[in-house]
């Protein structure tokens, strides 16, 4: 039954090209640029993310992160990407397809972060638009899901611009910055259209 088969990537996944961005798997050689961007963006990112461990920006923590990404890839449970600006190769953010569910669901969750110097330049919109065909054609998912804090207007606009529809409201859905936060729930089906 091909419908229920999972994807088996034996080599590193190929890069995904979008409008001015390239999505590729993180590598150990990305550590210094990744850590510098995350540190420079800490104040911007902390309100929207789970609490950062004390060692989050260390080489050892990055190595563990890469091992987890590799295991998620091997087991078809998640796909992590760095977002690279095509014009100069600068790292601008990250995006994940996580919590992949096969069988009757064929669904996954979209998560993302953008470095502070690169917000409001369209890079995340381009990255999400680039990953959608990968999710639906390559991974053969039927549905993508995303959640965001109701006050995160930028994330709401990003999702709606990329064909995600608000489907619900989850009370104390995720622990963000040490606090159980309510979230808006969004979904996008395989055949949904993208606005603008």
pLDDT in tens, 87-109: 999 999 999 999 999 999 999 99
pLDDT at 191: 82
| 99 phi and psi angles, rounded to 5 deg | 50, 45
Residues 6+ apart with CB under 8 A from 75: none
pLDDT at 175: 94
pLDDT in tens, 48-79: 999 999 999 999 999 999 999 999 999 999 99
pLDDT in tens, 108-165: 999 999 999 999 999 999 999 999 999 999 999 999 999 999 999 999 999 999 999 9
Residues 139 and 6: their CA atoms lie apart, in Å, by 8
Name the nearest CA neighbour of 113 among 132, 91, 135, 130.
Answer: 91
| Domain map (residue ranges) of the chain | 9-144
Architecture of domain 9-144: 3-Layer(aba) Sandwich (3.40)
**Whole-prediction pTM value?**
0.90
Residue 54, sorted as left (phi over 0), alpha (psi -120 to 50) or beta, turns out to be: alpha
């Amino acid at each position: 039954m091909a419908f229920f088969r999972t994807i088996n990537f034996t080599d590193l996944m190929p890069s995904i090209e979008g409008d001015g961005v390239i999505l590729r798997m993180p590598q150990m050689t990305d550590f210094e640029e990744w850590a510098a961007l995350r540190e420079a963006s800490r104040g911007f990112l902390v309100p929207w993310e789970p609490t950062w461990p004390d060692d989050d920006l260390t080489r050892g923590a990055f190595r563990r992160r890469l091992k987890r990404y590799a295991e998620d890839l091997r087991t078809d449970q998640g796909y992590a990407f760095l977002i690279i600006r095509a014009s100069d190769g600068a790292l601008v953010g990250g995006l994940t397809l996580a919590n992949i569910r096969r069988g009757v669901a064929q669904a996954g969750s979209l998560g993302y972060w953008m470095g502070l110097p690169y917000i409001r330049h369209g890079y995340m919109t381009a990255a999400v638009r680039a990953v959608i065909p990968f999710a639906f054609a390559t991974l053969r998912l039927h549905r993508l899901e995303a959640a965001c804090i109701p006050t995160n207007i930028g994330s709401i606009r990003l999702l709606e611009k990329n064909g995600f529809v608000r489907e619900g409201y989850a009370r104390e859905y995720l622990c963000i910055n040490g606090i159980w936060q309510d979230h808006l729930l969004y979904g996008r089906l395989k055949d949904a259209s993208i606005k603008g």
